[in-house]
Structure 1
Amino acid sequence: MQSQDLIYANFPELLKNYQGTGRRESANFLHWFLENIYRLDNVAAADCICDQSNDKGIDAVYVDHNAEEINFFQSKISQKEDTSIGDAQIKTFIGSVAQFDTPEKVQNVLAGNANEDLKKLIIRNELATLVERGYSAKMIFVANAERDHNTIELEKHFPNLTVYSASDIALNYIEFDAAEGIKESFMFDTSYSGFIKLIVDEKTQVFLLPVSATELVKLSGIADGTLFSQNVRYSLGNTPVNKAIAGSVATKAEHKNFSLYHNGVTLICKNATVDQGTEKITVSNYVVVNGAQSITTFFHSATKLSDDLRVFVKIIALESDELSRKITLNSNNQNSIKPRDLRSNHDIMLRLRAEFENSGSGFEFHIKRGQASTAGLESISNEDAGRQLLAFDLNEPYSCHQIYRVFDDKYAEIFGRPEVTYGRIIFLEQLMAVVSEALGELKNRPMAGYALTKYFLLNCLGHIIRLFDEGRVFLSDNARMNAQHSRQEIVQLCKEIAHALVIDFNYEIEAAGPLFDYKSDLKSPDAVKDWRLKLLRSYEKDFKRSKIVGFGKEIGRDIT
């Protein structure tokens, strides 16, 4: 994205997905910003917004519990290209946020004539309580214009103020292509038995035809998976379904019966044309959204194929991305669809994957089951990342065995946060490696191999880092989190701490006696809290006696 893309003339296209909300244009712009720049989920972004009349100068409120900050937003749209941000509107915004700097002032806003959306946000987020607990205010001013000297001067005097100008927004926008696939043409031969054509509407038509497997393996993008890039998953390897397909391919006598057993392949394309003279259907800009298992098996068994082995192919030519997604989700039924599959083409996942690709970090982010690894890169699955974030950030190590929660009811809370960058995901992956190594010293070996144990210790490390002011600053600073040297510095300190935690854990487990049931305790929120408190108290004693390292000169908060 370029800053020029944010001129007012481009707003109808930029904000087309937010039309019909009944909100003002500035609120739709802020919604776009919260999703694409501040990295919130669509629903979470909408929940933040309170941009109505009498909103007390606040357009949105988001609570960052990791950083213990209340983020107040205001957005302004400049319709003229030569307009700068200045300082007048920002000064007014600063005054508006001052209405929330004490619990008493927050209650006054609630008791006053503020609009209902703002009052609901105050109540829902318990802002008065958070202010009383010491949560700080962060002001974010969003505009499609550029700074001038007045803006810059004002920023110098207010460290809790962040201005996002058009250039800032363009710099932080992650480009990704949700409409992936093969950007070329392919011709299907229909001379074998013709085809059935169905016209759904003026922009959607369907062709059904039997296609030889020898023809299907000539489609581009099978080897590298780009043919299936809009599928909710890739080929899943040696599953019962794939074994059955391979068995039928290997038995030549079964080739003529293959179409009787097989559910078919679904191919979506932008255009499909029929040449009556050559009896060929030409498709362009195409992707296979169902049938990855079969086509991949054919591709790897090419020497065993024959012209008798045919599969029914449904070619759908359409223009609607929304309809394309619905077809993808509803046509996958050979292997069960999991919540992770349904999220694999979600904007947050695509944005994170693009971030990894652009980072040069040496890591790649896998968002689909069956995705092949790239030589020379370490891979991190979104499943592992989600569990680690659930334990470390959301403080729920006891839920990490319930993988459905990562991509279902907890999905937005886990991934849809501004601090979830490629750097944070890499950091937690590296911390998990530290935890796994330390667990080699846990005397209760079955417990050491129990899945929830590592998430519990990862959670304990998170609490210890947050005991220190310096640790909390690191965890809330995306720039430092994305910097390899900063991550490594914290990871190295965690190695010593993790080993110390395991030593203390050994003593506590022994003291618990023979009836200690770790499987039950590690699934219990209350038991997890009790065990964590024991380990953190031991750590605090060792730190104050200078027996163990920390993330600052002194512990800056109470252990809870």
Structure 2
Amino acid sequence: MKYGKLNDSPFWVSLQQRTDLAIHGNLNAALYALELHNNIADIVSLAPEIITEGGDDENIDLLYVDLDSASVYVIQSFQSPLFREQGARPNKARDSSYAVMALSTMTIEDIPNRIREQVVIAREAIQSDLIKNLYIWFVHNCPETDECKRIMDGIGTQAATMLRGLGKSSIIVDASEVGLETLDQLYKSQQNAILISDVIETPKNAGFVEYSDTGWTAFSTSVTASFLKNLYSRYGEDKLFSANVRSYMGSNNKDQAINGQIKKSALETPSDFYVCNNGITALVHDFEVKFPSEDDKNLGRLLNITGISIVNGAQTTGCLSTNEQVIDPRIKVAIRFIKVNDDEKVRKITLANNSQNKVLASDFRSGDEVQSRLRSEFERVGDAFYTGGLRKILTPAQKRILIDPETLAQVLTAFHGHPTSSYHQKTEIWEKDELYNIAFNATITSRHILFIYSLYEAIVSYKNDIAISNRHGNLLEQDKPKHEFLSKPGVSFIVIHAVASIIEMIVGKVIPNKYSLSFRDDINREQSIQLWENVIKQVVKRTVRLLPATDNRLSQRAKITEIMDNFREDMDMFRDNFNEWFPDLIKAIKL
């Protein structure tokens, strides 16, 4: 696409509606790009933990380690206030080379203390074989250029060499210039499940057509492993798996034994692969079938498909396509091509075909009675949007007021349960009834969720303020310990648990059912966030008391419990001051 102004970009137009990202200034485009690429539901809450930009950031503006997708993102960002037809300055792309060195070979003591913990986390994940992809991005709001692409290709080679030196040659390196063209592709991928639109010739294998009166048509046949590998090589994962809730997860990680078995099957028993593998389901825009008889429109040979996105079979495709051995021509894979024009049906097909994979755990509680009731209740709340585990394509307006179910489950667990479970058992909250019932008690209401989630949002806001002051050198000396505390992984859950431990002192009453806590109905979400500010400031003042609770990333459960008991005893000494400290909050709370 030829760009004449910034508003020619759908991504840029959409970004202007994301006012929730405006607080992060020129990093808003990089955050939005990361959200779209990794399907992050709550980038606003995540931002304070992954932003490293500042005077001593080692040319890393964002550093994000996502163990769920086995990915590390190292992002250098540039944003021009005016449209630059000539593209971004190449020297900004070159800065990413120094970022790679800081992430990999620089002595950890030479890494600035402000970003050291994030670098340590990334290095540990790589060393522990938990990472499949290393994304090194130069994100900007200009047209992409051959010069910047050449530079990023060189940086990718540098990073791959570095990883080989660490014995991590299986990690896929994606060093890319992410300018307007790529940003628009990311944005459009959220609107269109099938990004590939080419007409693709098929092996003309025999198969059969299934017709439906509910809006879909499917052709079932088989294809060779070489056909799949050619698609993988030609289009890459982002396009080929665009409608899939999971891309290829690799076969070297400890929890990916099934992919190792797929490769083993392809190598050792290629003739039996067809019957030993579940096969593939792919969405297409259209397909063309040649029927031997005009009277029989069920059996025929597939001539070609128009567009493709594999919604089930990413692991099979990835294993066959990344296998270093020559592909055996005897390997056949069962496949069905489905054409459907209904977005809601596309969502159902995608989720149903991935029910055997470990997708978002909340997907499988979406039909739960509590989640269904909460979705209904939130329909009557004007300043909040809650999906209750249902996958939806969200508008920027919905994103601005989203209450992310995954984050919410962690927040509720921290308040009603234990912060160790919030941080280390994120998936288990949805999978294990015991934890799920702690988070989503049968008596929970949308008003209680707003009460607790606004506490979390207030903590995120306070963390942002402290982090921004620190990045720009405006942080007072006495506030530096607060920044150290608030920079720790999972610290929000510690603060939430601390507030929960003193909530009866704050209201001055016994609370028979803490799930009944809420703010008055006339208080909106923004006001709720503001009401929590003074409580958070008082809690964070106890940094010396609470900081040890963050040791080893909240893994020391008994130690945290003891620290919270001592914290509650300390706060009890100030109970008489609560009416003076929190008058508006106390008046606003309903039991």
Smaller-chain TM-score bracket: 0.3 to 0.5
Query: Larger C-alpha radius of gyration, 1 or 2?
Result: 1
